[in-house]
Amino acid sequence: MAPPHRPRLLKKSDLPSFLKPLKPTLFSESSAPPSSRYSQPLVQKIADISWSPTGSSIATCTSSNIRVWNSGRPNVKSSTEIRNAHPRDGGEWGRPGVSGDGVEKVAFSPRDEGVLASLGADGTVRLWDLRTPNKAIPVGDCKVPKQGGTLVWHPQGHQILVTVKSSNEVHQIDVRRLPTATSDPLQPARFSLESATRTPDAPHTVYTNLAFSNSGRELFATTTNAGVQILDYPSLTHLHNLSAFPGETHCVEHSPSGAHVAAGSADSTISLWDTSTWLTPHTLSHSQQLMPIRSFGFSFDGAYMVAGSGDHLGTMGKTEGGGGSSGLHIYHVDSGDVVHTIETTNCPTHVAWHPSRYWIAYAGDPGGLRVIGIGSNVL
C-alpha cells in the first residue's frame, strides 16, 4: 500500500482561515430528500467511526449494520452496506430472516486498505474483505467470552486486542492467517481465529479503552479508577501509571508526532502528557463541553485535537434529557487554546481525523455522518 499524500502543515494562526469557509458534507443513508420542508432527518445512533489507512474509505456502525463509505463520493449508492453484520444467537451471517446483534466497534486495519474488523455486542470479532466493490465478505471470526468492550489493532496490523466489559481481561487475536492481497477476493478462505486470554500484571481495575503506542511496544489502558496504565507489550507487564483525573477515564491516544499522550475523562477534560518528561503541561477544556470525553482524536501532524461525547444523549436537547452542547471545538495541542469551533446542531458524539488531511468526520447531527474538509484544495 502506497504511503498517503501529506499536505503542507497548517500553523495555529492559519487553521481557522482554512476551516471557516468549509461546510460539512453529509453522508446520508437516504438517497431521497425530506418529504417536506418541515421534516427533519433523524439522528443516527452511530456507535463508531473509522478511516481506512489512506483515508479513501470511512466505516460507521449503527445498530446491527455497518456501512463503508467512499470518502470522495457521499452518495449512498457508492457505499457498501453490511446488514445484520453480527447475527443473533450465533446465526450464520447472510442468511435471510436472521436479525442482527448490535455492532459496538469498527476499525480498519492500519496496514491493509481492504480489511475491516468489527466487534459485536456478543463478543464476536469479525474480519471483512472489502476489496470487491460494493461487497463485503467475512473472512475471519473469533468469539471472546462474555461481552466485548473495545477493539484495537496493533500498529503493524498483525494482531487485534479486545477487552471484556467490566474487567481488565484482554484477548489477543492473531490475524496473520487471513487471506493475503494476492488471494481471490471472490472466493476467500474463511477462518475461525483463536484468541489468547491475557490478564495484565498490573493493579486490578476495569479497563474502559485501549490504545497502542506508535511503536506497538507499549499499551495504554484507561480505567475506572481515575488513571491510565502503561503496559509493556506483548508481556503486558505494568510499567507506569498516569494519574491526573478526578474521575473515570474513557479514551487514550498517542499523538502521531509521538510528542504527547492524551486521555479523555468523565470531567469533560483532556489531559496531556509530554512523552519526553511525562509531565502534564496543561489540559484541554471548553466551557461549553459538558459531556464526558469518550471519543477524541489527533490531527495527522499531532498539532490539533477534537473531542466528542461518545454518548447519544449528547444529540438530545436539554429538555429531552440531554446534557451536551453543540459545537465541534478544535484545540491547539501545544498551547491548549481552542483555535476554532465548527457549528453543529447537537453535541458531537464520535469524531475522527482523516489520516493525512485536515478533514474531520463526526456523528451526532441529524441525517448521519458528516465530514468537514472534503472538496477543499490542497489540504
53-199 CATH fold: Methylamine Dehydrogenase; Chain H (2.130.10)
Q: What residue segments make up the domains of the chain, in order of their start?
A: 53-199
CA dihedral of 16, 17, 18, 23, whole degrees rounded to 10: 80
pLDDT tens-digit map of 206-246: 999 999 999 999 999 999 987 899 999 999 999 999 986 67
The reply to whether the predicted model has a pTM over 0.85 is yes
Report which listed range, 76-90, 244-258, 327-341, is most confident. Answer: 327-341
What is the per-residue DSSP string for 118-148?
Answer: EEETTSEEEEEE--STT--EEEEEEE-SS-E
Side by side, the strands of the sheet bearing 65-70 are: 46-51, 57-62, 65-70, 80-82
Q: What grid cell was written down for 245?
A: 483525573
pLDDT tens-digit map of 25-43: 999 987 655 555 545 566 6
